[in-house]
Structure 1
Amino acid sequence: MRKPLLAVITAAATLATFAPPAEAAGATLTVNVAQPFRPVTHVASGGLYGLAENSRPADSTLLPIKVNSLTQPAPGVGQRPNGQPPGGDSLLVAPQATRVGAGEFIRMPDIYPDFPYRWVSWNDWLAKVNTMVNARLSATTVTNVIGWELWNEPDWTWNTAAAGAFNDGWVRTYRAVRALDTLTPIVGPSTATYNRSWMQSFLTRARDTGTLPDVICWHELVNPDRIAADLADYRNLESSLGISPRRVSINEYAATSEVDVPGRIASYVAKFERGGVESAHRAFWYEYGTMNGLVVNNNQPTGTWWLYKWYGDMAGSMVTTTPATQTGLDGFASYDGSRKIVNVVFGNESGTNTVNLTGIGALGASVRVTLLSTPSSGRFTAVTAPTTISTTTRTVSGGQLSVSVPNMSVSSAYQLVVEPVSGVPAYQQRYEAENASVFRAQRLSAAGASGGGYVGRIDNSGTPRTDSYVDFVVNVPAARAYTMTIGYANATGATATQGLAYNGGAWSTVSYPPTPAWGQFGATIATSVTLAAGYNVIRLAKGSPHFAGGTGYAELDYIQLT
C-alpha cells in the first residue's frame, strides 16, 4: 500500500502508531525443535517495489537476506509512488531479481500514474492489459515472473461508478489476460484488508465464472495480531465454498510505524510462517532503492536488515514456536539438521523474558548459546553489526534448555543460536533443495530425503513462462573450485540431464544415471564448480534462457559443497 506522502487511507486500513503490547514483561516463547512444520523458504523476505533499477539496492545487500519474491510495477510503469519518478519496471529489474533468486508478481494497475488509480475507460484499460501482457511475452529471457496481479486494493481504489462492480471487472480482466497468456498464475484480489463478506462475494463470483485466482492475496497493514485469525477464516471460507486450497500471499505487510521496527517485524514473520503463507512482502512507504528501508547510504544495513539477515541464515526446517499470546513476545525458529544449529529470532516485548527450547537432544549434552540483538534504527541510520549480548556454554537436560533474555527492548529484535560446542562445520556445506528458490517445480516430502524434503516435477522447459529450475544461494569462505555433490533420484530407467550454471555464467550439463524409484534417495553425482568468495547462485535447470533443455527427469534432494 504505497501512497503519496499525504495519503488518504480508508478507515478500514487506518494505521495506528505502534505502541508496546499490553502483555506484561515475563513472557515465554516455547520452541519445539522436534516439531518441524515446513521447509525454510524465507517466505516473508520480500518487498513491494523492492528493486528500483537493475542494481539498486546492490546484490550484496539482497543475497544475504534470501529474497523470496517481489511485487513490482507493470511494464511501462506510470506509477509515481510518494511523488517519485516512475521506477521498478518488473521487466527491467528482472535480471537483478533473477541474480538473487527472487520471483516477481507484476502489479498491472501501476501502468497508471496516479494513486488512487484514476480510471479512464474500459477500452483504455483493456488496451493497457494487452500492452503489458505482450511486453512480458516478448521478454524471452525473463523467467522469474510468478504472477499477474490484476488490481491493487480494489476495496477502495476501484471506481465502481465509472467501471462497474469490481467482481465483474475482475472477470473481464482475468479473461483478457488469459486470452493472451494461459500459463502465468493470476493473483488477487489484493484487498487493503481481509474482510470476510467482501472476500466471500468475490470468491463466489470468481468460482461461478471460472476465474478464481491461482494465488489469493490481501494486505496485513494494521498490526500482526489479526493475521492468524484472518488466515484461519479464509481457509474456512474457501472450504465452505467448495474451492480447492489456494496459495496465499500477503504482498504488503507492516504499517509505517512498524516496518522499521525489528521487534514488531519478528511478530509478523512468525505469524506468516505459522500460518502457511507462500510469500509476504514488506510494504512500500518511502523511497525506491532501499528494499523498503532495509538499506541506507550506499547500501549500508539498517537495524531491521539484520533481522532479515538472521532469517536468511536459516536452513533446514522451520520448527514450531508457541507464544503465550498473539499480542506480545513472538518469534520464529529453524533447525538445520546437517549442522545441528537451532536459530531463533524473536521480539515484540520488553523486560526479562524466556525462550524455552525442547527437542534439542541431538545437539549433545553441552551446547554453545549465543544471544544477539539489533535495534530499531529507523531507515536513515546504518547499523554495521548486531550486538552480541552473551556467548555461554549450557547443559542440556532431557533435551530441554531454558534461556532467560534480560532487559529486552520492545522495538529490538533478538537472535538466539544454539549449537554443539564442537564439530560444527566452519561454513554451510549442505543446501537442501527444498530450501532453494524453486520455479515451476514442487517441494515434496519423503522420509528418506535429506532433511525430509526434496524438489520434484522439474519437468517444464521451452518458454520463459514454463522454464523449470532450482536456484541455490550459497555462501562459501574462499574463491576456488569446490566439489559439488548432488543428491538425486531418477526412476525413468535412463540417464536424465539438467543444465548447470552459476552466477549467470556458461552452461554445462550434469547427468543423472537411473535409480530404483522416485522419492527414494541415496544416489549422488559429483561435479566441480568455481565460485567467488561469499555469495553465489547455482542453478540446476530443466529449462532456462540460453540452455537448450534437459532430457528425462530427475528429482533433487540437496547439493553439498566441499
Structure 2
Amino acid sequence: MRYRPAVLLLVLAGLAVPSPARAAGNTLTVNVGTVVRPVTHVASGGLYAVDTGSKPPLEQMYPLRLNHLTQPPPGVQQLGNGATTPCCDGALVAGKVTSAGAQQFWRLPDIYKDFPYRWVSWTDWEAKVRTMVQTRLNATTTTNVDGYELWNEPDWTWNTSAAGTFNAGWTRTHRLIRTLDTVTPIVGPSHSVYNHDWMVGFLTNARDTGTLPDVIVWHELENDKYLEVQAHVADYRAIEASLGISPRPISINEYASPSQVDIPSVAVHYMAVFERHGIRSAERAYWYEAGTLNGLLHNNAPTSSYWTYKWYGDMAGNIVQTVPGSWLEGVAAYDSTRKVVNVVLGGDSGDNTVRVNGLGALGSQVRVTLSRSGTTGRFTNQSAPIAVSSATYTVSNGSISVPVNGMHAWDSYQLLITPSSGASTWQQRYEAENATVVNANRFSSGSASNGGYVGQIDGSANPRNQSFVDFLVNVPTARSYTMTIGYANATGATATHGLAYNGGGWQTISYPPTAAWGVFGSTVSTTVTLKAGWNMIRLAKGAPNLTAGTGYAELDHIHLA
C-alpha cells in the first residue's frame, strides 16, 4: 500500500485522527485459564520492513519475534514513498529474515517501478512472472518463502481495460505459476478493503477454475478498522462454507492507517483482535520509510512503538482470553512453565483497572510490574520503556485487580505478573508450537508441555517443502548447554532429525520409539554450544545441506539447562 489521493485528503483535513475514548473507570479482564491459541506473535510483521545489511539490525529484530513479512520480489523496481532506489528484495533478505525467525510472501507486482502499477501487456507480465518464479526455484538454500502474492489491491490497481478482469487475470497467472512451481503457496486476492461482493466473486471464480489461493489475504487500513475484523472474518468464513471451500488461513498483510500506525495503543487493538479472531499472520503497513520495521526504528534505534511490539514478542506459552472494557483493550499470554502472565493493554485515558483471574498456580502473592510505552512518533528514539510501578499483590480466590491510573489513551502499557519469589531469571523451556514452524502443523495434547506440540514434520524433498522447526532462544552466557527435547515417535523404530544452530553444521538427533502419537513425556538430550544472547536452533526432517532425517517424530519442546 502507498498513499492514495483520497487517503491523503483525509489526513490533511485532519479527519484521520484516532478516536480513543476519553472516559475512565473501565476494566480489562484477563482470564488466564481460558486458552485462545498458542503464542505465535500473529501481529508481529511488516510490509517492506526489512532491507539488506544493517537496516534494520538483527539485534533489533530478534526481540520482536517477527512472525511474517511481505517483501518485494527478486528484481524489485518499486520506488515506494519517495524512495530513489529499490529496496528490500525478498531473495536478498531471505537469510536475514530466516535468522530472525520469520517467513515471507513475495509481492510479485512490485517488480513494476510505479505505484499504482502501470500495466504493459500480458507478454510482459508473464515474462516477469517466469523470471521471478525461476529465481525462487534456483534459490536452493532459501527456505522461508511461503507465498507468491499475485497482485496487490486489485480493487483499484488492476487495469481492467488493458488486462481484462482481475478474476480472469488471477486464473491466468495462477495457472502459469503452477506450470513452473507446484509447491510454493499462492496467496490473495489482497483487496485494499474487505468487501463481501468482491470476495464472493473472486472465490466463485477461483473455485470453478481450480485456482483457489492457499492463503486468503486482505488489508485493514482505514482508521479503527480493528473494530470490523471480527465481522470480516465471520463473513469470509460464511462465504467459504456457502461455496464448499475448505477453510484457508487468513493473512492481513497490511494493517493500520497512516495516522494510526505509530500510535502504540492502536497497535494493541490490532494485536488483540487478530489473536482473538484466528488471523494467521498480520503485517504493519508500509506508509513511510522502508527497512525500519515500519517505523519501529529510527536510525536503527527503537521508537516508543518498538516497546509495544517487544512486550508482545516477550509472550510465550498460550494467548489467553481478554475481555475489553469500552476502549480499554489488551492481549495477554500465560507461560505455564515459568508462571509468567504478560498483559499488553491500552486505549483509554484516566484511571482504569486490569482484573486478572486464574492466578492460583502462581501462589498466594505475586509481583506486578507496570510499564508504559510513551508516544514519541517515528522520528524520536526511546531507549527503554517507562517504568510506572512495581508492587506485591495478594491473590484472592485466584484473582487480583490492578489499578492503572493516569492512563494516556495513545500509550500502551505492560502488566507483567510473576510469582513473588522463585521466578525464573531467563527462559529455559521453548515450546515447539511457539516456534517458527515450516511445512508442519501445530496440534494440542493434554500430555504436551503447555498443551501444544508440532507434528507432520514430514517434508524432505526440496527447499520449498522441507519440514523443520526453528527455535529462537536467548541465553545469559556463552557456554555449552544441555538441550533436552520432548518428543513422540510411534513408528516403532528409531527416527532422526538434523540439528543445527547459528548456521553451523548438522548433527543427528535420534528419537527412540514411544507408545503413541500425540502422547508426550519421553525426552532425549544433547549438548549445544551457544553464544550469549540470541541463537537460532533448527530441528529438521529436511533442510538445505541436510541428508534427510529418517522416520517421523513430533516435537513438544526444547529445554536448555
Q: Which residue of 2 aligns with 1:213?
A: 213
Q: Which residue of 1 aligns with 2:536?
A: 537
Deviation at 1:8, TM superposition (A): 2.6
Query: For structure 1, which runs of at least 5 residues remain unmatched after alignment?
Result: none
CA offset digits 1:26-47 (Å, max 9, x no partner): 2211110000110000011001
User: Quick one: distance in 1 between partners of 2:354 and 2:404?
Assistant: 8
Q: Which residue of 1 aligns with 2:29?
A: 30
Matched, 1:319 2:316: no
The 3-state SS of whatever aligns with 2:131 is: helix
CA contact (8 A) 2:22 2:349 kept: no
> Percent sequence identity over matched residues?
60
Paired residue type of 2:533:
G
- CA, structure 1 residues 186+54, in 2 after alignment: closer, same or farther (shift >3 Å)? farther
Q: Which residue of 1 aligns with 2:308?
A: 307
Deviation at 1:354, TM superposition (A): 1.1
Corresponding pairs, count: 556
How is 1:145-544 mapped onto 2 (pairs within 5 angstroms)? 145-222=145-222, 223=224, 224-297=226-299, 299-325=300-326, 328-544=327-543
User: Quick one: distance in 2 between partners of 1:11 and 1:412?
Assistant: 25
The 3-state SS of whatever aligns with 1:243 is: coil
Deviation at 1:11, TM superposition (A): 10
CA contact (8 A) 1:495 1:552 kept: yes
Q: Which residue of 1 aligns with 2:5?
A: 8
CA offset digits 1:441-486 (Å, max 9, x no partner): 0001111111110000100012110111100011111111110000
The 3-state SS of whatever aligns with 2:305 is: helix
CA offset digits 1:65-114 (Å, max 9, x no partner): 00001000011101111121111111000010011111010000001000
- CA, structure 1 residues 416+552, in 2 after alignment: closer, same or farther (shift >3 Å)? same
- CA, structure 1 residues 450+545, in 2 after alignment: closer, same or farther (shift >3 Å)? same
Paired residue type of 2:292:
T
- CA, structure 1 residues 17+204, in 2 after alignment: closer, same or farther (shift >3 Å)? same
- CA, structure 1 residues 197+13, in 2 after alignment: closer, same or farther (shift >3 Å)? farther
Paired residue type of 2:555:
L
CA contact (8 A) 1:80 1:114 kept: yes
Paired residue type of 1:320:
Q
The 3-state SS of whatever aligns with 2:28 is: strand
User: Quick one: distance in 2 between partners of 1:236 and 1:13?
Assistant: 33
The 3-state SS of whatever aligns with 1:142 is: coil
User: Quick one: distance in 1 between partners of 2:131 and 2:203?
Assistant: 27
Tell which deviates more after alignment, 229-238 or 271-280.
229-238
Deviation at 1:208, TM superposition (A): 1.1
User: Quick one: distance in 2 between partners of 1:408 and 1:22?
Assistant: 11
Paired residue type of 1:321:
T
Paired residue type of 1:526:
S
User: Quick one: distance in 2 between partners of 1:554 and 1:54?
Assistant: 37
User: Quick one: distance in 2 between partners of 1:437 and 1:517?
Assistant: 24
CA offset digits 1:233-285 (Å, max 9, x no partner): 21122212221111000000011111111111101110100011000001001
Q: Provide the aligned C-alpha RMSD in A.
A: 1.4
CA offset digits 1:386-419 (Å, max 9, x no partner): 1111100001111111111000011110000111
User: Quick one: distance in 2 between partners of 1:27 and 1:209?
Assistant: 51
Paired residue type of 1:303:
S
The 3-state SS of whatever aligns with 1:91 is: coil
Deviation at 1:182, TM superposition (A): 0.7
CA contact (8 A) 2:34 2:320 kept: yes
Query: For structure 2, which runs of at least 5 residues remain unmatched after alignment?
Result: none
User: Quick one: distance in 1 between partners of 2:501 and 2:523?
Assistant: 19
CA contact (8 A) 1:154 1:191 kept: yes
User: Quick one: distance in 2 between partners of 1:481 and 1:375?
Assistant: 39
TM-score, with structure 1 as normaliser: 0.97
Runs of 4+ in 1 over 3 A off after TM superposition: 9-16
User: Quick one: distance in 2 between partners of 1:425 and 1:22?
Assistant: 37
Q: Which residue of 2 aligns with 1:93?
A: 93
TM-score, with structure 2 as normaliser: 0.97
User: Quick one: distance in 2 between partners of 1:125 and 1:253?
Assistant: 28
Paired residue type of 1:180:
L
Tell which deviates more after alignment, 59-68 or 228-237.
228-237
CA offset digits 1:416-456 (Å, max 9, x no partner): 01111011111111000000000000001111111110000
Paired residue type of 1:366:
Q
User: Quick one: distance in 2 between partners of 1:455 and 1:383?
Assistant: 37
User: Quick one: distance in 1 between partners of 2:547 and 2:44?
Assistant: 32
CA contact (8 A) 1:12 1:193 kept: no
User: Quick one: distance in 2 between partners of 1:557 and 1:215?
Assistant: 26
CA offset digits 1:315-360 (Å, max 9, x no partner): 00000011134xx111100000001110000111111111111111
- CA, structure 1 residues 68+12, in 2 after alignment: closer, same or farther (shift >3 Å)? farther
CA contact (8 A) 2:73 2:110 kept: yes
The 3-state SS of whatever aligns with 1:258 is: coil
CA offset digits 1:477-505 (Å, max 9, x no partner): 11111100000011111111111111111
CA contact (8 A) 1:185 1:214 kept: yes
Paired residue type of 2:112:
Y
Paired residue type of 1:323:
P
The 3-state SS of whatever aligns with 1:362 is: helix
- CA, structure 1 residues 322+183, in 2 after alignment: closer, same or farther (shift >3 Å)? same
Deviation at 1:13, TM superposition (A): 9.9
CA contact (8 A) 1:54 1:94 kept: no
Tell which deviates more after alignment, 10-19 or 127-136.
10-19
Q: Which residue of 2 aligns with 1:76?
A: 75
Deviation at 1:362, TM superposition (A): 1.1
User: Quick one: distance in 2 between partners of 1:344 and 1:134?
Assistant: 45
Paired residue type of 1:99:
S
Paired residue type of 1:296:
H
Paired residue type of 1:430:
R
